Amino acid sequence: MYKNIENYYDSFKETRIKERAFSYDLWLQLIDEWKNNPALTVSEIGNTYEGKPIHQVKFGTGPIHICAWSQMHGDEATATMALADIFLFLSKKGDNFTELREILHQKITLFVIPRLNADGAERWTRETALGIDMNRDARKLNSPEAKILHDWAHQINPTFSFNLHDQHRLYSVGNTPHQTHIALLSTTGDESGTWTDSRLRSGKLANRLTQIVEKIYPNKIAKWTDEYNTRAFGDYFQGQNFGLILLESGGAGWDLEKQSLRKTTACLLLDAFYAIATEEWKSEDLSTYESLLTNERNIFDIKLLNAPLRKNDTSIRADIGLNISEEYIDGKIAFMWTLEEIGDLDIYSGLIEIDASDYQLSDLQYLEKGKNYTSLKMTFDQQTVFDLTDYTNKINK
Ligand SMILES: [Zn+2]
């Protein structure tokens, strides 16, 4: 089913969303359209600390309850974009997916909070307006948004639930040179990691999703560590029998706005809903999922080996690791380069690796750890052989 949906993606992509930090005006417009969409039911289930409404979008009338929420962390919006695509898919008519939609409509009821931490989304911060990390608030429920999520899920009592996040784009699959594109976790609901019925449901579904992602991004899928965290919603909800899967969008090379991962997430979730509605997930085991390596931090965007550190003394050299960093300025994400590390970086990999043993600094006198760079050039035989702006120009192309 995944492939069929993916081939059809361009026809249900919400094309007005072009980037993760899309505007609040567009958000309000989308909410209005979903409200007027006969396939969906939109309701307000509460307010953020600053009084922004938190919306639930509902689809279907089936006995199997599924819930999903995105942007519990305000600056993690890849799945929110995917959910907007899914809402378009679910409301389309007269195409080859009428039967699929009918199955979903009859077998499942889908409850979605597309943007939980609306205050954080506006500031582009992980935390809520009170500075609370909602995913460490599952027990105390100090933030009003966590309380809303808690009560909402208990009312729905889902068979499956999807906790949708973005993770740092430079996580690697174990200690390999591969950038984690997608990470999954069938969370544990107790200290000893028992494979309860709830965890088995999510694990079997994760097994199906792992096989799909392996085909799209070979070697670029990982799992999160399944160490039990009592304060995290994923772990708490697994203990409540909610069949919880954590799905994280990681990095995708130069696609910093992660439109490729948005597409994968949209199609993956639709495939998961299909597998739940048809109960195909029951025929899975756990072997592929369990063979996944855990997320590690093993890569830099660019690793220059044996690079010059001083312009006036070319004998002073070391490896350097350059990473793209993001800053939220005036409603937009700006990208810049940070010199993350200088030294022996032999144990790490670079998405780009360059042997700079013969290079010299040309536009700078020296390199400094932790500093942001827009320009950084190196020469060999008076020719420019490395120019950081060449890479800046690749971003989202
Ligand atoms: Zn997160």
pLDDT at 394: 80
CA of 165 to the centre of ligand 1 (A): 4
44-53: average pLDDT: 98
Q: What is the mean pLDDT of the chain?
A: 96
Instruction: State the DSSP code for 180.
Output: P
pLDDT at 396: 57
pLDDT tens per residue across span 202-234 = 999 999 999 999 999 999 999 998 899 999 999
CA of 287 to the centre of ligand 1 (A): 26
Domains of the chain by range and CATH?
2-296 (3.40.630.10), 299-392 (2.30.40)
354 strand-pairing partners = 304
CA of 309 to the centre of ligand 1 (A): 36
CA of 169 to the centre of ligand 1 (A): 12
363-379: average pLDDT: 95
Q: Where are the alpha helices (DSSP H) in 92-243?
A: 98-107, 118-123, 144-156, 197-216, 233-239
CA of 247 to the centre of ligand 1 (A): 10
CA of 133 to the centre of ligand 1 (A): 9
Q: Which residues of 75-109 are buried (b: 16+ CB within 10 A; e: fewer)?
A: bbbbbbbbbbbbbbbbbeeeeebeebbebbbebbb
CA of 302 to the centre of ligand 1 (A): 25
pLDDT at 226: 87
Q: Which helix (H) or strand (E) holds 47?
A: strand 41-47
- Chain centre to alpha carbon of residue 286: 23
- Give ion ligand 1 contacts, CB < 5 A: 73, 76, 165
271-285: average pLDDT: 98
C-beta separation of 171 from 296 below 8 A: yes
CA of 120 to the centre of ligand 1 (A): 12
Distance between CA atoms of residues 359 and 186, nearest Å? 47
Tell which residue, 108, 39, 97, has the closest CA to residue 67.
108
344-369: average pLDDT: 96
50-76: average pLDDT: 98
Own/partner contacts of 199-204, CB < 8 Å, gap of 24 or more, are: 199/238, 200/286, 201/159, 201/160, 201/243, 201/281, 202/160, 202/238, 202/243, 202/244, 202/245, 203/286, 203/289, 203/290, 204/281, 204/282, 204/284, 204/285, 204/286
C-beta separation of 269 from 277 below 8 A: no
| pLDDT confidence bin for 314, thresholds 50/70/90 | confident
352-380: average pLDDT: 96
CA of 319 to the centre of ligand 1 (A): 31
309-337: average pLDDT: 94
CA of 213 to the centre of ligand 1 (A): 20
pLDDT at 397: 52
CA of 317 to the centre of ligand 1 (A): 38
pLDDT tens per residue across span 71-115 = 999 999 999 999 999 999 999 999 999 999 999 999 999 999 999
CA of 72 to the centre of ligand 1 (A): 7
pLDDT tens per residue across span 117-156 = 999 999 999 999 999 999 999 999 999 999 999 999 999 9
- Read off the pTM: 0.96
149-175: average pLDDT: 98
CA of 134 to the centre of ligand 1 (A): 9
CA of 137 to the centre of ligand 1 (A): 13
